[in-house]
Amino acid sequence: MSKNQLVKELIEALGQDNVITDQEDLVCYSFDATPDVPNPLPDVVVTPTSTEEIAKVVTIALKYKTPIYPRGSGTNLCGGTVPLKGGIVLSLLKMNKILEIDAENLVAVVQPGVIIQDLNDAVAPYGLIYPPDPGTVTTATMGGSVSECAGGLRGLKYGVTKHYVMGLEIVLADGKVARFGGKTVKNVTAYDLVKLFTGSEGTLGIITEITVKLIPAPESRAAMLASFTSLEDAGNAIKGIISSKVIPATLEIMDQVTIRTVENFAKVGLPTDAKAILLIEVDGVPEVVAREAEAVERVIAENNGKL
């Protein structure tokens, strides 16, 4: 591969402003949130602004047989954006438009560089939410979280990203653009390629547009923190909550090591003497929230927990 020729063609395709080659800038694209992996520099970083530009990058990369690493915000924990074999890091951050909010059909269409929280802020005035809630909502992109099929705290009740992705536009490895799925719930004919690409970690193609399902925002919430003097009691409380037919929006267990580690870092006032804690949130219409919160409190008490 002639690196100079590759860069020249990328600049011709995208313009100088969308092609980064300065060493000090390349360093920023040599790592992501993953600890303990090598951090080699990419040969070049591109910041395309459209599907057509991404298709051009893929075609050029194919010609020079050079790898491409799609990159959202780089918050993944599996080294997915680290350019281990050199080549092109393709940042999606300039493709950050919310293309449509179709409140009547409970659907939004976004570019991959939209930050998850920005989508939620945009749909909030319509009384809607996009539920997937990885710990990185304020930084992670829609494209990155679809590629990781991110889950998060609300997974128990609301599911994970794959349960909300209805349609995708993809630039495939040969530079062709394909569209799968769409806004229609009953769009079920043939193979479910939307599911195949969701969670594919950038290995099958580059996601350039995403159609997602939205749901009505819960009217009210009740959050609880229960502490336990034994991990077993906390585990039994989880069993008790689920078997009393309550599906909390959040139900997270932390053992003592985790409690102390988090407290040491975040200083949020967690009970460091507890052997385990449960973080619980129930949500929905107020009457149901009140009933479910009461059921949770009862189960906590039955299992020697303290609220």
Ligand X SMILES: Cc1cc2nc3c(=O)[nH]c(=O)nc-3n(C[C@H](O)[C@H](O)[C@H](O)COP(=O)(O)OP(=O)(O)OC[C@H]3O[C@@H](n4cnc5c(N)ncnc54)[C@H](O)[C@@H]3O)c2cc1C
Binding flags for ligand X, 167-206, as an x/- string (CB under 6 A): ----------------------------------xx---x
CB of 220 to ligand X, least distance (A): 24
Q: In terms of CB distance, is 67 or 182 closer to ligand X? A: 67
CB of 297 to ligand X, least distance (A): 26
Q: In terms of CB distance, is 144 or 218 closer to ligand X? A: 144
Q: Judged by CB under 6 A, does residue 152 bind ligand X?
A: yes
Collapsed DSSP state (helix, strand, coil) of residue 179: strand
Q: In terms of CB distance, is 28 or 77 closer to ligand X? A: 77
Count CB neighbours of 280 within 10 A. Answer: 27
Collapsed DSSP state (helix, strand, coil) of residue 166: strand
Segment near ligand X (CB under 6 A), from 118-126, 147-155, 253-261, 281-289?
147-155
Say how far apart CA 131 and CA 157 lie, in whole Å. Answer: 10
Strands 88-91, 68-71: pairing is: parallel
Q: How many residues does the chain have?
A: 307
Which of 18, 49, 66, 145 forms a contact with ligand X (CB under 6 A)? 145
Residues 93-112 that bind ligand X (CB under 6 A): 112
Q: CA of 132: how far to CAs of 25, 148, 149, 236, in Å?
A: 32, 12, 9, 27
Segment near ligand X (CB under 6 A), from 68-76, 120-128, 234-242, 272-280?
68-76
Segment near ligand X (CB under 6 A), from 70-78, 183-191, 245-253, 283-291?
70-78
Give the rounded distance of the alpha carbon of 223 from its chain centre.
23
Count CB neighbours of 162 within 10 A. Answer: 17
Strands (E) in the chain, as ranges, are 19-20, 44-46, 68-71, 88-91, 98-102, 107-110, 128-129, 165-171, 177-181, 206-213, 215-216, 220-228, 250-255, 276-284
Amino acid code (one letter) for 23 = Q
Q: Which residues contact 303 (CB under 8 A, 6 or more apart)?
A: 228, 233, 234, 236, 237, 240
CB of 144 to ligand X, least distance (A): 2
Segment near ligand X (CB under 6 A), from 42-50, 128-136, 270-278, 285-293?
128-136
Closest CA to 14 of 87, 130, 94: 94
Which of 15, 127, 135, 216 forms a contact with ligand X (CB under 6 A)? 135
Which of 119, 140, 165, 249 forms a contact with ligand X (CB under 6 A)? 140
CB of 207 to ligand X, least distance (A): 4
Say how far apart CA 258 and CA 271 lie, in whole Å. Answer: 11
Residues 3-62 that bind ligand X (CB under 6 A): 32-33
Q: In terms of CB distance, is 10 or 140 closer to ligand X? A: 140
CB of 20 to ligand X, least distance (A): 16
- Using CB under 6 A, list all residues that contact ligand X: 32-33, 69-77, 80-81, 92, 112, 134-136, 140-141, 143-145, 147-148, 150-152, 201-202, 206-207
